[in-house]
Amino acid sequence: MELSSLATVADVRAALRDGATAVDVCTEFLGRIAARDGDLRAFNHTAAEPALARAAALDRRGPDAPDLPLLGVPIAVKDNICTRGLPTTASSRILAGYVPPYDATVVERLTAAGAVVVGKTNCDEFAMGSTTEHSVTGPTRNPWDPACVPGGSSGGSAAAVAARLAPVALGSDTGGSIRQPAAFCGIVGLKPTYGRVSRYGLLAFASSLDQIGPFGLTVADAAALLQAIAGPDPRDATSAASAVPAFDAAAAEPVRRPTIGVPWAILENGVDAGVASAFEAAVEALRGMGATVVDVPLPHAEYAVPAYYIVAPAEASSNLARYDGVRYAYRAPLDEKDATLGGMYDRTRHDGFGDEVKRRIMLGTYALSAGYYDAYYLKAQQVRTLIRGDYDAAFEKVDAVAVPTTPTTAFRLGERADDPLQLYVGDVFTASANLTGLPAVSVPCGRDDAGLPVGLQLTGRAFDEVTLIGIGAAYEEQAPWWREPPAAGAGIPGGEAPASRDGAAP
Amino acid sequence: MSNPLTRADVDRIARLAHLELTEREAEQFTRQLGDILAYFERLNRIDTAGVAATTHPVTSAPVMRDDEPRPSLPVDDAFGNAPDRGGERLFRVPKVIG
């Protein structure tokens, strides 16, 4: 196999079997990043030297060393996941120059599985956003149309995989931050069940919602990555003791005759025509492969967004209190003579955080402040219980619930920058999985009239990613949208000339 | 609908959050957060009387380990990212007591 045509984990494994070295593979992907990422801006930092050193060490293991599931597979890691010795900034000024003294558990496990970290990807600051525009390094562009956002918050990871700059990537998902950019970039993104994957080393945003998960071009690649990172971790008390099933095997056993629930009532309003028609075609394809499709009511689903935007900022306002100018990276310059401790906190946080993070800290602080707790935080937690009840009732008769991942396809850079509420409402189909803890996957399911990708989201029972992977693999077999790479712009072979790189919205 | 949030609320929350705000930010947040809080009003359509709160999506017994000493982060690593070490093993901050 030509190195220049490598795309998936399976391709990398095949190339290594055919005699390519891990250094060859790593060099190929680093070359793509060097050539194209100046325009795409998927990466905050690339790690060429440590990646090549790591690949060379893998090559030195010799032919008799035990096989590793991700041997020599380059991986991009979202910049809110700690990597020892590599900058980890969460795309925030307040962490500019922060170099973690330890690896996140997921990074340790990927390394043990043979993967090679090639860089840290751009995201919305502290994973707060759905466009990757709220980043101190500037926005990432969508490989399908460089005038559009890649989604977010894990937009850099999604764009990197879609543009074939890395076969797989890690993201984090608090309200849709893996699945929404996967949908906008036409790739697979999976949010595992809360507790399936250790959060140790993930910069905390909302601790009862955050979960790390994989991006891949195919369901099998996402499953292979999940296999490597899943399982209990003594360093994360919320990681679940549940046994880890064979996700990689599940991808090879398509589930062609599942019962799928579709909550048609909540799809009646607010879904763009292009998304609706791609979704309806996907439902037909599911029927065509043997699935039974039934209507399921999710009467509280419409309250997911307001509940989410209370719970997530409340938890964030507490988690982000640690960024105070004392322990990590940035401290605002102060006039020594007049400086006070409180003034140092206030100024450091003012200078170090961007607008969206400030908005959410303010919102969360308000929701938790005296006199408002019951009306907001407690109420939102009760709504979580009702939403989970809706899903539990649905799962008595269906194996998975299907909706479009997002109500729209990717929109233009800058288009929604001044209207936070409009962006929040875009999380309508993704936030429920975080509020309930349930696993959900977004699989590419078509294009709108502008040629932008649409995602099909499947939500499953707690700790039943296996069924989602099986159904996703069966659907992908019918509709292999991933095989068509983005053609427009962003320097992808066959595409048009890349757009300007001034970082401003066109 | 009138803004449920006043400028005084915003100033108070910013103090609680240890967040200095510029005049422009305070004005903007008063409007934007007011819009968002008004949007939250729809939650009052749901009767949640007697509904248990979900604090965490997965309820399992807390995982405890034996209380035995074990190696922790080396001191130099723990201080390695501090903006002002003021010495070998100190976080130096502005004067707290006048």
Mean pLDDT by 10 residues, chain A (506 residues): 93 96 98 97 98 97 90 98 98 97 98 98 98 97 97 98 98 98 98 98 98 98 98 92 95 97 94 98 98 97 97 98 95 86 95 97 96 93 97 98 98 91 95 98 97 98 98 97 77 39 32
Domains (range + CATH), chain A: 3-300+385-483 (3.90.1300.10)
- Name the amino acid, one letter, at A144: W
Nearest CA distance, A298 vs chain B (angstrom): 14
pLDDT of residue B98: 65
Residue A476, C-beta contacts closer than 8 angstroms, at least 6 positions apart: A188, A218, A219, A443, A482
Beta strands A116-121; A211-216: pairing state: unpaired
Give me the torsion for CA of A173, A174, A179, A182, rounded to 10°. -60
The label of the residue with tokens 């959050």 reads: B17
DSSP-assigned states of every residue in A320-356: GGG-SSSSSS------TTT--HHHHHHHHHHHHS-HH
Please give the Cα distance from A195 to B58 (Å, whole number).
7
Question: Burial level of A106, CB count in 10 A (0-12/13-18/19+)?
Answer: buried
Active site residues of A: 78, 153, 177
Q: Of the candidates A345, A378, A383, which has its C-beta nearest B18's C-beta?
A: A345
Please give the Cα distance from A414 to A184 (Å, whole number).
16
Q: State phi, psi for A393 to the nearest 5 degrees.
A: -65, -40
Residue A208's closest chain B neighbor by CA?
A: B56
Classify residue A273 by its DSSP letter: H
Cross-chain residue pair B94–A421, CB shorter than 8 Å? no
Please give the Cα distance from B78 to B83 (Å, whole number).
12
B-contacting residues of A 227-266, CB under 8 Å? 232, 234, 237-241
Residue A439's closest chain B neighbor by CA?
A: B57
- Provide the sign of the torsion angle of the four alpha carbons A456, A457, A463, A464, taken in this order: negative
Cross-chain residue pair B40–A376, CB shorter than 8 Å? yes
Please give the Cα distance from A457 to A283 (Å, whole number).
11
Q: Which residues of A touch B19 (CB under 8 A)?
A: 346, 349-350, 353, 358, 361-362
Cross-chain residue pair A366–B42, CB shorter than 8 Å? no
pLDDT of residue A488: 53
Interface check A199 vs B, CB under 8 A = no
Short-list A475, A209, A203, A195, CA closest to A322: A203
pLDDT of residue A418: 81
Q: Indicate the pLDDT class of residue B89, thresholds 50, 70 and 90.
A: confident
Q: Indicate the pLDDT class of residue B59, thresholds 50, 70 and 90.
A: low
pLDDT of residue B65: 78
Alpha helices in A67-146 (DSSP H): 105-112
> So what's the ipTM on this one?
0.94
- Name the amino acid, one letter, at A54: R
Q: Of the candidates B33, B55, B63, which has its C-beta nearest A363's C-beta?
A: B33
Q: Which CATH architecture has domain B7-45?
A: Orthogonal Bundle (1.10)
Cross-chain residue pair B83–A330, CB shorter than 8 Å? yes
Nearest CA distance, A474 vs chain B (angstrom): 29
pLDDT of residue B31: 95
For chain B, the domains span 7-45
pLDDT of residue A288: 97
B-contacting residues of A 111-130, CB under 8 Å? none
Q: Indicate the pLDDT class of residue B60, thresholds 50, 70 and 90.
A: low
Task: Please tell me the number of Cα atoms within 13 Å of B91 on its side-chain side.
Answer: 17
Task: Beginning with the edge strand found earlier in the chain, give each strand of the sheet holding A400-404 in spatial order.
Answer: A43-46, A116-121, A74-78, A168-173, A211-216, A188-191, A440-447, A453-459, A400-404, A259-262, A292-295
Cross-chain residue pair A101–B52, CB shorter than 8 Å? no
Enter the tokens of residue A410: 């990717």
pLDDT of residue A382: 97
| Chain A interface, best mutation among B36, B65, B79, by max A CB count within 10 A | B36
Please give the Cα distance from A427 to A313 (Å, whole number).
14
- Name the amino acid, one letter, at A51: A
Q: Which residues of B touch A309 (CB under 8 A)?
A: 36, 40
Q: State phi, psi for A498 to the nearest 5 degrees.
A: -65, 155
Q: Indicate the pLDDT class of residue B35, thresholds 50, 70 and 90.
A: very high
Enter the tokens of residue B49: 């009387």
A to B CB pairs, distance under 8 Å = 170
pLDDT of residue B2: 65
* Residues found in chain A: 506
Q: Of the candidates B9, B32, B62, which has its C-beta nearest A420's C-beta?
A: B32
pLDDT of residue A504: 33
Interface check A310 vs B, CB under 8 A = yes
Residue B19, C-beta contacts closer than 8 angstroms, at least 6 positions apart: A346, A349, A350, A353, A358, A361, A362
